[in-house]
């Protein structure tokens, strides 16, 4: 037999057997056993067991096998993260698929169940956690019946306010901010009274959270005296210092358990919880997260070896932990120093579809460095300690081959985040290119909806050609931090597009509740066909940048200014054309609009409550003074009912004169079944609470 006939027979045999080879299935069940073969009759018990069984199969089969891990309904407690490496990969044609069985809802959770809760004389629930007294790490989050409980803090409502701040520099460092310093807070009297009642050991466990501009700092106190709290860490940043009048809270001590839903765990392992109305210790499900990561996908970036072609479908990942380091949490815009429950590095073709990530202490999913062609589709991320999805890195990687790119986030609901770290954002893209964020519902965050870029100024940025399109971004800010946007951009970003989004209800503590916010160095970005309404400081604000295109947007109902700009530069800063600006307040423009170099024309302006003025001058005077808006109009655009969010047109007479082209803003947000779209709606009590803040 010659070689050609021999290899032909092998090929024929492979084709004949392909129906067997391409249908290999491994089964998981909550009552399974990892010593089982993984059949439907004798299933495995864990993801790790399925991964190891996959290795055994590949030792005896061709590498072109499709392997499906079918996971039955139930709860799978994870004692360690599920780690995947290059040898666990699938191929382009035959991915490895971890999927829920038909109709099943498997839940993987990284917590422990708290049992034997009993009522004390006050009606509080108490129990003893084994091991804590002997040095076991104390958990820092708690859930009762699937609802996040709050580690006891003070004051119960509002904040303490600093009466003054001083700083003693310990190590200056090479940068503008000291490397190490001690801050001395002249504190609120009630704050000091509560802290002074604590023992030395009790005081060291207290966490002071300071809210300053767009950031927070979390620290343990060094000590206190009659007037001040002492705490040490990095030096204050000159651009974002602690100052007199700034807010802070203090948490994690027994006497602060004064409000239903609060809890405290002491050094002896005694857990105390003040129940909410209707809760019963005999019936309650009480869970403490203990794992910080549930999935770690870790390729070999040094040898350019990817983890590739793995899919997760229909799975729920719940209850991940965050542990505050001994040195605390130093300010980090967008909480960018916080990692994720699902951490992906050195990977391509990783897909999450129809999955849920919830009850986290950190971000939900992070495609970090060296990731390509990933997808998050039709997933539900909610109740997040930090933010939703992160794409890319904080630093520009020297090896451009390691830059993350081509990640698609489509038709996801990403809601209720920043619950431990308010600066976190719904979707964060840093130093990464060619990503698509489309048709997502992103709401109920404390800082920013979508953040793209991560270079301040005009230096090189890898963040190119990112598409932020057809998203509904809403209920952002909650009046907690400042300097935020529905969509926030940074740096030179050729080819980046922010289009066809609906952005509404953006409310800052002080300044900077904007809808579209090209910040420092944002350049060559197109922002088009967006509906932006009900913001605090403006529907649009450019700090500084080059030749951005702001075109054919509807911008309405900002509380302070409708439009803002800040820095005057020698180059053309932006084009502002064919936009409709509709408002019911006094001020249209904030900042040096008469000095900045812009191309501004063919817009339509209307104030439903009175006369339209441009920096205290009428429209003809504005045109003569600046040369802007030569073909623009001051006229009613004819919206059907803008006060109730209906920005469709009764008549197109005036808008056709301005050159505005109507677009269907109802296409923004998630698509699919009525149940899925309904799930994207925040509860009425949440939106009502937000409306009260806006008043």
**Residue 536 in this model has a pLDDT that exceeds 50:** yes
Distance CA 402, CA 303 (A): 11
The better pLDDT of the pair 491, 402 is held by 491
Q: Are residues 597 and 504 in the same domain?
A: yes
Q: What is the pLDDT of residue 400?
A: 86
Indicate whether 521 pLDDT > 90. Answer: yes
Q: Which residues contact 247 (CB under 8 A, 6 or more apart)?
A: 159, 160, 161, 162, 210, 211
Which residues are paired to 307 by β-bridges? 347
Give me the residue label for tokens 């948490």: 251
Q: Would 452 be classed as within a structural domain?
A: no
Strand residue runs (E) in 329-396:
340-345, 347-353, 356-358, 363-367, 371-372, 375-377, 380-382, 389-392
- d(CA 560, CA 478) in angstroms, rounded, equals 16
Asked if pLDDT for residue 12 goes beyond 50, the answer is: no
> pLDDT at position 268, please?
93
Query: Residue 51 domain-assigned?
Result: no
Residue range 634-643: mean pLDDT, rounded? 96
What is the C-alpha separation between 205 and 414, in angstroms, rounded?
32
Separation between Cα atoms, residue 521 and residue 490, nearest integer Å: 6
pLDDT band at 57 (very low <50, low <70, confident <90, very high): confident
Q: Bridge partners of 371? A: 347
pLDDT at 24: 86
Pair (263, 249) in one structural domain? no
Residue showing tokens 């794409």: 391
Question: In this structure, are 173 and 267 located in the same domain?
Answer: no
Q: What percent of the chain has pLDDT over 70?
A: 96
Pairing, β 164-171 against β 180-186: antiparallel
Cα 550-551-556 angle, rounded to 5 deg: 85
Any domain includes 456? no
Residue 64 has a pLDDT of 63
The pLDDT, as a whole number, for residue 158 is 96
What integer pLDDT is reported at residue 3 of this predicted model? 42
Q: Which of 230-234, 262-266, 457-461, 649-653 has the lowest mean pLDDT?
A: 649-653
Dihedral Cα 520, 586, 576, 546, nearest 10 deg: -20
Q: What is the pLDDT of residues 116-144, one digit of tens each?
A: 999 999 999 999 999 888 878 999 999 99
Q: Is the peptide bond before 94 cis (omega within 30 degrees of 0)?
A: no
376 Cβ contact partners less than 8 Å away, ≥ 6 residues apart: 351, 352, 365, 389, 407, 408, 409, 410, 412
Q: What is the pLDDT of residue 21?
A: 37
Q: Are 569 and 544 within 8 A, CB to CB?
A: yes
Q: State what percent of residues in the chain have pLDDT above 90.
A: 89
DSSP string, 125-183: EEEE-TTGGGTPPPP--EEETTEEEEE-EESSSS-EE-SEEEEEEEE--SSSS-SEEEE
**Over the chain, what is the mean pLDDT?**
94
Tokens matching residue 217: 């700092």
Q: Is residue 204 domain-resident?
A: yes
pLDDT tens figures, 204-219: 999 999 999 999 999 9
**Do 118 and 248 lie in a common domain?**
no
DSSP assignment of 560-588, as one string?
A: S-SEEE----SS--EEEES-EEEESSS--
Q: What is the DSSP letter of 44?
A: B
pLDDT value at 202 more than 80: yes
Verify that 178 and 268 share a domain, yes or no: no
Q: Which of 244, 269, 288 is the last residue of a domain?
A: 288
CA distance 661 to 560: 27
Residue 273 has pLDDT above 80, yes or no: yes
* DSSP calls for 47-66: HHHHHHHHHHHHHHS-TT--
Residue 14: what pLDDT?
A: 38
Q: Looking at the structure, tell me whether residues 135 and 181 fall in a common domain.
A: no
Helix, strand or coil for residue 88?
helix
Give the mean pLDDT of 301-317.
93
Q: Are residues 231 and 124 in the same domain?
A: no
Taking phi first (over 0 means left), then psi (-120 to 50 degrees means alpha), and beta for anything else, what does residue 672 get?
left
Q: Answer yes or no: do 554 and 647 share one domain.
A: yes
Residue 63 belongs to a domain: no
Domain finish residue from 256, 278, 298:
256
pLDDT at 297 over 60: yes
Give the C-alpha separation, 250 to 232, whole Å. Answer: 15
Residue 178's pLDDT is 85
| 490 located within any domain | yes
Q: Are residues 233 and 276 in the same domain?
A: no
Are the beta carbons of 275 and 124 closer than 8 angstroms?
yes
- pLDDT for res 170: 85
| Residue 153 clears pLDDT 80, i.e. is over it | yes
Backbone angles phi, psi at 640, to 5 degrees: -70, -55
C-beta of residue 429 within 8 angstroms of C-beta of residue 459: no
Q: Is 617's pLDDT higher than 60?
A: yes
Q: In the predicted model, is pLDDT for residue 17 greater than 50?
A: no
State residue 16's pLDDT score: 33
CB-count exposure of residue 46 (10 Å: 0-12, 13-18, 19+)? buried
Residue 164 lies inside a defined structural domain of this protein: yes
Above 70 in pLDDT, residue 6?
no
The predicted structure's pLDDT at residue 656: 85
Whether residue 514 is found in the same domain as residue 633: yes
Residue 246 has pLDDT above 60, yes or no: yes
pLDDT interval class at 63 (50, 70, 90)? low
Band (pLDDT 50/70/90 cuts) for residue 398 is: confident
Residue 11 confidence (pLDDT) above 70: no
Answer whether residue 4 shows pLDDT above 60: no
Cβ(350)–Cβ(374) below 8 Å: yes
- Which tokens go with 129? 């956690």
Name the E strands within 279-370: 286-289, 295-298, 307-313, 316-318, 340-345, 347-353, 356-358, 363-367
Residue 197 above 50 pLDDT? Answer: yes
**Are both 480 and 616 inside the same structural domain?**
yes
How many domains does one find in the chain?
3
Judge whether 231 lies within some domain: yes
Residue 19 has pLDDT above 80, yes or no: no
Domain termination residue (choose one: 239, 256, 273):
256
Q: Is the domain of 510 the same as that of 564? A: yes
Helix (H, G, I), strand (E, B) or coil at 661: coil
Enclosing domain of residue 577:
467-665
Tokens of 240: 């974002």
Beta strands at 531-535 and 554-556: parallel, antiparallel or unpaired? parallel
Residues 6+ apart with CB under 8 A from 685: none
């Amino acid at each position: 037999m010659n070689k050609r006939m021999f290899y032909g027979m092998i090929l024929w045999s492979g084709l004949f057997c392909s129906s067997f080879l391409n249908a290999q299935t491994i089964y998981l069940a909550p009552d399974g056993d990892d010593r089982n073969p993984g059949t439907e009759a004798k299933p495995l018990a864990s993801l790790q067991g399925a991964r190891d069984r996959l290795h055994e199969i590949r030792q005896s089969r061709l590498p072109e096998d499709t392997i499906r891990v079918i996971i039955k309904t139930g709860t799978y407690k994870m004692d360690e993260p599920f780690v995947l490496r290059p040898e666990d990969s699938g191929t382009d044609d035959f991915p490895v698929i971890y999927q829920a069985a038909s109709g099943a809802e498997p839940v993987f959770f990284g917590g422990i169940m708290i049992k034997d809760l009993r009522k004390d004389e006050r009606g509080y629930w108490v129990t003893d956690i084994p091991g804590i007294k002997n040095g076991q790490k104390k958990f820092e989050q708690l859930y009762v019946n699937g609802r996040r409980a709050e580690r006891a803090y003070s004051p119960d409502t509002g904040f303490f306010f600093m009466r003054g701040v001083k700083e003693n520099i310990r190590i200056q460092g090479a940068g503008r901010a000291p490397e190490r310093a001690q801050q001395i807070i002249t504190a609120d009297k009630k704050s000091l009274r509560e802290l002074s009642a604590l023992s030395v050991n009790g005081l060291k466990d207290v966490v002071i959270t300071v809210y300053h501009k767009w950031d927070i700092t979390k620290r343990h106190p060094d000590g206190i005296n009659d007037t001040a709290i002492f705490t040490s860490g990095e030096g204050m940043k000159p651009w974002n210092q602690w100052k007199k009048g700034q807010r802070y809270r203090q948490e994690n001590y027994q006497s602060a358990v004064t409000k239903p839903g609060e809890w405290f765990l002491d050094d002896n392992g005694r857990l105390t919880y003040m129940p909410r109305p209707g809760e019963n210790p005999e019936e309650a499900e009480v869970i403490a997260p203990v794992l910080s990561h549930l999935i770690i996908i870790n390729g070999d970036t040094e040898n350019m070896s990817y983890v590739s072609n793995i899919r997760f479908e229909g799975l729920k990942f719940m209850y991940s932990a965050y542990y505050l380091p001994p040195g605390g949490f130093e300010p980090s815009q967008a909480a960018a120093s916080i990692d994720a429950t699902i951490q992906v590095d050195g990977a391509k073709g990783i897909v999450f579809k129809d999955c849920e990530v919830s009850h986290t202490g950190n971000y939900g999913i992070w495609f970090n460095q060296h990731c390509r062609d990933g997808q998050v589709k039709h997933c539900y991320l909610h109740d997040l300690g930090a933010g939703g999805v992160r794409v890319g890195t904080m630093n520009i990687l020297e090896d451009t081959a390691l830059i993350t790119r081509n990640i698609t986030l489509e038709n996801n609901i990403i809601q209720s985040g920043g619950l431990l770290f308010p600066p976190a954002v719904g979707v964060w893209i840093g130093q990464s290119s060619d990503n698509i964020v489309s048709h997502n519902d992103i709401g109920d965050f404390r800082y920013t909806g979508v953040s793209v870029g991560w270079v301040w100024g005009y230096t090189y940025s890898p963040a190119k050609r990112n598409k932020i399109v057809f998203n509904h971004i809403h209920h952002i800010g909650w009046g907690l931090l400042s300097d935020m946007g529905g969509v926030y951009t940074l740096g030179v970003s050729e080819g980046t597009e922010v289009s066809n989004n609906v952005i509404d209800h953006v409310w800052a503590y002080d300044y900077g509740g904007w809808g579209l916010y090209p910040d420092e160095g944002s350049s060559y970005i197109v922002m088009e066909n967006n509906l932006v309404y009900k913001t605090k400081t403006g529907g649009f604000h450019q700090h500084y940048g080059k030749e951005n295109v702001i075109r054919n947007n509807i911008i309405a109902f900002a509380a302070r200014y409708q439009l803002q700009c800040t820095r005057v530069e020698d180059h053309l800063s932006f084009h502002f054309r064919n936009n409709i600006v509709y408002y019911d307040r006094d001020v249209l423009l904030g900042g040096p609009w008469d000095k900045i170099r812009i191309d501004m024309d063919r817009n339509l302006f209307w104030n439903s409550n009175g006369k339209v003025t441009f920096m205290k001058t009428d429209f003809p005077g504005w045109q003569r003074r600046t040369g802007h808006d030569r073909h623009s109009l001051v006229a009613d655009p004819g919206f059907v009912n803008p006060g109730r969010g209906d920005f469709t047109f009764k008549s197109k007479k005036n808008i056709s004169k301005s050159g505005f082209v109507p677009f269907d803003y109802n296409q923004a947000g998630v698509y699919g079944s009525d149940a899925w779209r309904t799930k994207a709606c925040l509860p009425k009590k949440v939106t009502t609470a937000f409306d009260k803040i806006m008043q």
